[in-house]
Chain A
Amino acid sequence: MRSSINGPRVAVTAAGMLALAGFAGGTGYDFEPDTEGAETARAAVGAAPAAPSARDDESSRATAGERAGLQAEARRLEARLRARVPRGGYIVVDRAENRLYLRRGDEVRVDALVSTGSGAVLREADGARRTWVFDTPAGRRSVLGKRSDPVWVKPDWAFLEEGRPIPSDWTERREAGVLGEFALDLGDGYLIHGTLYERLLGRSVTHGCIRVGRDDLRVLHRESRIGTPVFIF
């Protein structure tokens, strides 16, 4: 005899429908505008500590003292953070957008379309079987040197990449005119320099250096100093 009551099946079906309804509805999160806490924390730093009145007890004096201590600590930390921002201007390179900014405080002095590393990998088939990855490295660097009319001393990979033998005479490595009017040396062989291929600005085509158009390069060279920080992200 089969039971006419199929409770478990009904319940499971109901639970399943409930789950589906929950699954299908909404994004999985309940959202609400977040203005909570806004202004109160920063405003509290500037607020003058309440002067304890004659009626204040020990506890309220302690609270006023703690408030003053916290306000002083907050100001000290804020000053420490402000001091970390480079004062004399700095260069920012956004590799993904292929853009370079020369910033001085909140002001952007140069907003340039550039070319950064292609990300290509070159493998040496013979010999030492070396590998090069043509990325522009992220992180903080600084301008170590400034050159006018720079001459490119071609490294080994430049010959391998062109299918040419590596020369034993170093003079064969020198190539003038390909780096533009100026170069800013960032160390480890990385430069900010000009280019013959301005039509490729905005694309990731370099071997790790940062190529800049002629007009922007002139401003960069003029406004940067030895030691100017360069942030690459």
Chain B
Amino acid sequence: MDGPRSFRRRRAAALTTVTVAATALVLALSGSRGETRPFTDPATDPSPEIDTLRLLVESLEIESALAESGEFYLVLDPDAFSLSLFLDGAPLRSYEIGDLQTGAPRRLFIRGERVDPRERSWTGAKLRPERRVERVEIVSDAVEPPDPSGTVGWIPPTPLELNPTPERFVVTYDGGVSLEVVAGEPRDSTAAPTRRVRGLATLDRLRLLWPGWEARVRIRVILPREDAGALYRSLPAGSHLLVRP
């Protein structure tokens, strides 16, 4: 049987918990309207032009290093609205950007700290959803001699058949940047999401609730469907990303 002391303790605990929850709610709501931190703050910088030039030189040094690395890299140029794949400094394929946005993660309603994606190159590209890869395995003693009529028994699927263009996919990079690619014209971006898109968004939200998740900034680009599909099917795994200033 509970006594008055126990009752007071429970009431105090209840009040504490309610206070904490209310504070969290206030913080959450105020956080949802918080301003995004700009990449550079001209108000506190006495020489923004010098800083802009420094950022450009640093970016060009990074791009030069990537060009000499012998590895594939994507260059996102927000000024030119272009996304291009390079190897050894040679442009291999360009993807036309219809629209470009940057986003900061939100836990509940609180916007997380945003990082400047231009400050370095990002490595270790991984696709979500992953591409399908089909490998047929042939063992030499189980092979039938070819049909003398020349008929091909099995025709493999085309790349598009094997990996249809997703409505939306994400390329994650080590260290906290992710590139979200939406297939379609800008006006289509508000269209009702497909089941796959909803699934991807749910996965994102689940990951954001996970404390160790480091997706600190997301860059969303809207590409024509053909370009989005080509990028999805062709992006070399483990490639780099550079965002030009």
Contact = CB atoms under 8 A, between A and B. Distances in A.
A3 interface: yes
B125 interface: no
A88 to B, nearest CB: 12
Contacts of B145: 162-164
A28 B57 contact: no
A80 B89 CA distance: 9
A85 to B, nearest CB: 5
Contacts of A1: 1-2
B52 A32 contact: no
A170 interface: no
Contact of B111 (A15, A30, A118, A164): A30
A137 B85 CA distance: 17
Interface string A5-24: 11110111011001100110
Contact of A81 (B89, B93, B103): B89
A144 interface: no
A96 B137 CA distance: 20
A125 B201 contact: no
A97 B93 CA distance: 12
B64 A97 contact: no
Contacts of B98: none
Nearest to A50: B49
B158 interface: yes
A229 interface: yes
A2 to B, nearest CB: 8
Contacts of A120: 135-138
A3 B143 contact: no
Given A37-B118, A231-B92, A5 B11 contact: yes
Interface of B: 1-2, 7, 10-11, 13-15, 17-18, 20-21, 24-25, 28, 32, 36, 38-40, 47, 49-50, 52-57, 59-61, 63-64, 67, 70, 72, 78-79, 85, 87-93, 99-109, 111, 118, 133-146, 152, 155-159, 163, 201, 204-205, 207-209, 218-220, 230, 233-234, 236, 244-245
18 contacts: A7-B15, A31-B220, A37-B118, A41-B52, A47-B49, A70-B56, A84-B90, A85-B89, A94-B234, A96-B230, A119-B134, A121-B138, A125-B140, A125-B141, A161-B138, A203-B156, A205-B156, A233-B93
Given A29-B106, A31-B218, A97-B234, 16 more contacts: A15-B21, A26-B106, A27-B201, A28-B106, A30-B106, A37-B118, A41-B52, A81-B60, A96-B233, A97-B230, A121-B138, A123-B138, A123-B139, A162-B145, A204-B156, A233-B72
